Amino acid sequence: MSDLIVVENLVKRYKDVVAVNGASFTIKKGEIFALLGPNGAGKTTTIHIIATLLRPTSGRVLVAGFDVVKQAADVRKRIGIVFQDPSLDNQLSAYDNMYVHGRLNGLRGRELHEKIMKLLELVDLKEFAYKKVMYFSGGMRRRLEVARSLLHEPEILILDEPTLGLDPQSRAKIWDYIRYLKKEFDMTILMTTHYMDEAEELAHRIAIMDRGKILAIGTAEELKAMLGQDVIYVTLRKGDDSLCKLFNFAKNCRLLSGNKLELVVDDASKALPEVFKVVNSYKLEVAEASYRRPTLNEVFLHLTGRELRDSLEHQLAPPIARVRRFR
C-alpha cells in the first residue's frame, strides 16, 4: 500500500504557543488512522494543515503527492472534512445545507440532486431531507455533516472528533458509517479523537499525540505491547501468599483480597496455559480466572506520566483559541 498522506517534521507556531512541534507520520491508502490525544494536543491544528486550511510554520505535508501549500487546490479536491465544531446552518433544511455545499464545489442540477438524496439515504436521513436542521438531534447533525463532506466524492475523509458529545447510540451509528465507508469505497480516513475506545474500535493505526508531539504510532495491540505486560487474575477456593511460589514464571505475583492472585506476565496468551498446568498439577480449585491487557490509557500514562482521562477531566476553562476560524 502506498502512502497517501505524508507529514514530515510538521511545526505550527502561534506567537508563543507551539501547537504542533515536529510531528511526522504517514497514512496509507485505505487506512483508518486516528490521532489520539487530550485537549490542546495539536490534533485539530494538524488536520487543518493537511486540509490546507492553515499554513504550516515549517515541515512538509503531501496529500496524494501534492504539497498542501504549493498545490492546495489539488489537495482540497481529494479531501472531505467534518469539523470539530458544528458547521451546519440551522435555518436551512438538511437538503439545502447539502445543496449549498454542492454548489460551492461546482456541482449542480440533476447530478447534485441525485447525489444529495443518495448520501442522505446513506446516513438514514432521507425522510428528514426537507426538515430544518434546528430540529435535528446531535447525532442527526453529525450524520448530515458526514454526508455533506462526501458530496464531492473525496478520496480522503477527515473527521475531527466525530462523536464528541454524542450519546452511545449515536456514536455507534457514526462508527457504523465510518466502517461502511472504508468497506464499500476503500476510503482513507483520518480522524482525531480523545476517546480511547473510539480509536481502538475503528482505527487500523493510532498515533498518540500530546503537546504537539507524536509520542508513538502503531496498532492498538502494538501500542499496548510497548508496555510488555499483561495481568492475569486467578481466584482460588483457598489460597495464601505461598501459592505465588508455584507461579514463578510470572514477573510479579501477589495475593489480593478474596483469594485472588494477581500475576503480571509478558504475554497472557502464552502464560495462561502455564497457569492452568500449575493449577492442575497442584489440584487447586479455581473459582474464576481472567486476564487483562493494558489499556491505551495505561500506554498514555507510560508515555507521558499522566492519565489520558485525567488530562481531559482536569481541564480548566477551554483555551480562547478554541473559537474556530473555519466556518
Ligand X SMILES: Nc1ncnc2c1ncn2[C@@H]1O[C@H](COP(=O)(O)OP(=O)(O)OP(=O)(O)O)[C@@H](O)[C@H]1O
Applying CB under 5 A, which residues contact Mg ion? 43-44, 84
Quote the least distance from Cβ 159 to Mg ion, whole Å: 11
Quote the least distance from Cβ 42 to Mg ion, whole Å: 8
Closer residue to ligand X, CB minimum distance, 39 or 297: 39
Quote the least distance from Cβ 75 to ligand X, whole Å: 19
Closer residue to ligand X, CB minimum distance, 14 or 282: 14
- Grid cell in block for residue 172: 455507534
Closer residue to Mg ion, CB minimum distance, 21 or 229: 21
Reduced 3-state DSSP string for the chain: CCEEEEEEEEEEEECCEEEEEEEEEEEECCCEEEEECCCCCCHHHHHHHHCCCCCCCEEEEEECCEECCCCHHHHHHHEEEECCCCCCCCCCEHHHHHHHHHHHCCCCHHHHHHHHHHHHHHCCCHHHCCCEHHHCCHHHHHHHHHHHHCCCCCCEEEEECCCCCCCHHHHHHHHHHHHHHHHHHCCEEEEEECCHHHHHHHCCEEEEEECCEEEEEECHHHHHHCCCCEEEEEEECCCCHHHHHHHCCCCEEEEECCCEEEEEECCHHHHHHHHHHHHHHCCCCEEEEEEECCCHHHHHHHHHCCCHHHHHHCCCCCCHHHCCCCC
Chain contacts with ligand X (rule: CB under 6 A)? 14, 17, 19, 37, 39-45, 84, 194, 319, 321
Strand pairing of 205-210 and 17-28?
Answer: unpaired
- Residue 321 interacting partner from Mg ion, ligand X, none (CB closer than 5 to 8 Å by kind): ligand X
- Residue 194 interacting partner from ligand X, Mg ion, none (CB closer than 5 to 8 Å by kind): ligand X
The candidate with the shortest Cα–Cα distance to 324, out of 196, 160, 91, 155, is: 160
- Residue 41 interacting partner from ligand X, Mg ion, none (CB closer than 5 to 8 Å by kind): ligand X
Quote the least distance from Cβ 220 to Mg ion, whole Å: 21
Closest residue to Mg ion, judged by C-beta, is 44
CA 85 centroid distance within chain: 16
- Residue 14 interacting partner from Mg ion, ligand X, none (CB closer than 5 to 8 Å by kind): ligand X
Closer residue to ligand X, CB minimum distance, 34 or 265: 34
Quote the least distance from Cβ 116 to ligand X, whole Å: 29
Closer residue to ligand X, CB minimum distance, 21 or 295: 21
- Residue 42 interacting partner from ligand X, Mg ion, none (CB closer than 5 to 8 Å by kind): ligand X
- Grid cell in block for residue 101: 455545499
Closer residue to ligand X, CB minimum distance, 125 or 214: 214
Q: What angle do CA 124, 128, 130 make, to 5 degrees?
A: 140
- Residue 163 interacting partner from ligand X, Mg ion, none (CB closer than 5 to 8 Å by kind): none
Quote the least distance from Cβ 62 to ligand X, whole Å: 20
Quote the least distance from Cβ 100 to Mg ion, whole Å: 25
Closer residue to ligand X, CB minimum distance, 129 or 164: 164
- Residue 40 interacting partner from ligand X, Mg ion, none (CB closer than 5 to 8 Å by kind): ligand X
- Residue 37 interacting partner from Mg ion, ligand X, none (CB closer than 5 to 8 Å by kind): ligand X
Quote the least distance from Cβ 27 to Mg ion, whole Å: 18
